[in-house]
Structure 1
């Protein structure tokens, strides 16, 4: 069984993320979408809330499993009996950052492979940060995130 891990902060999950998950699910037997606790970021949602939103958003993709972790990515991937990391790319700037990360992981664990997938043009401009900013100022985020996620974003931002 070919298992791939698709890590990220997913704060919140966007339709661009879902595009990558769905396309990767046709290549690999199992995709583990793993919410990463990044101590350098201050998320809008708790890890548990992000896992819940991802489970709702990926329910239609039968071979996707949602999980969460903290610590080193390559160690997490190994614990999942995998050596494959899937990373979504929107632009050249994403590639430069992700390429350096992939090379570091490859240096540490030569068996580890990173697969880069370009998002479709429809979502190349969508980022979690951009979605949150747009929603904060009352912009329309429909079409950028799943409807259930949009409702949660608006609800959270109205609490502040």
Structure 2
């Protein structure tokens, strides 16, 4: 009687194995290398507001112009701009994974020459930001950093 079910068992095994291949492929694709070059300007007096633009490029050739906004609250004051910022994304499957709202915590201090370095997170996707520019800023804030498709 077991010989009778062997062909069926073989077909089920092949089917089960074939359904697992896309899962392994998508896990491997989560390592898509994406970077963002950006510029922002910000002002703050207790409330912090940031606006900017950028270009996200990925190793697979995909690229997208993006709009950057951020809002936060805290003990902060100043005005600054970042001219040559670079962001590196982790755990990205497709370029669309970089879009959305990231949790942000920031501490900064700058006079004339201003700099920024942050690590932001949105679910499993993380974004490490670094940049330099000019301005005056001092404070600590928490908020939301949003990347959206440029219109």
TM-score w.r.t. length of structure 2:
0.26
Q: Relative contact order (alpha carbons < 8 A, sep ≥ 6): 1 or 2 greater?
A: 1
Between Structure 1 and Structure 2, which shows a larger proportion of strand residues? 2
Higher-Rg structure is: 2
Between Structure 1 and Structure 2, which shows a larger proportion of helix residues? 1
TM-score w.r.t. length of structure 1:
0.25
